[in-house]
Amino acid sequence: MLPALLLLLVPLASAQTFHIGRCPKPAVQGNFSMEQFLGRWHQIQSLPILQEEGRCMAADFDRNADGDFGVTFSQILDNEVKTWEAAVCPGKEEPAKLGVRYHRYLPECPLWVLHTDYSSVALMYYCQDLYFFHMDYAWIMSRTRTLSLQTLKGAKEKFTEGGVDVTEMTAADQTGCKDN
Average of per-residue pLDDT values in the chain = 88
Task: Quick: pLDDT tens for 30-79.
Answer: 999 999 999 999 999 999 876 668 999 999 999 988 889 999 999 999 99
Q: The CATH number of the domain where 81 resides is what?
A: 2.40.128.20
Does 117 map to a domain? yes
CA distance 90 to 111: 9
Report pTM. Answer: 0.87
CA distance 79 to 11: 25
Does 145 map to a domain? yes
Distances (CA, A) of 93 to 32, 90, 96, 98, 114: 11, 9, 9, 11, 15
| Residue 152 · residue 140 · CB < 8 Å | yes
Q: Check whether 105 has a pLDDT greater than 70.
A: yes
| Residue 143 · residue 42 · CB < 8 Å | yes
Q: How many domains does the chain have?
A: 1
> Phi first, then psi: what are they for 62, rounded to 5°?
-150, 180
Which amino acid does the sequence have at 134? H
Opening angle at CA 12, ends 171 and 149, nearest 5 = 15
What residues contact 70, with CB distance under 8 A and at least 6 apart?
61, 62, 63, 64, 85, 86, 87, 88
Does 95 map to a domain? yes
CA distance 7 to 176: 38
Task: Quick: pLDDT tens for 147-169.
Answer: 999 999 999 999 999 999 999 99
What pLDDT is recorded for position 50?
66
Give residue 128's domain range: 15-171
Does 25 map to a domain? yes
| Residue 109 · residue 102 · CB < 8 Å | yes
Does 73 map to a domain? yes
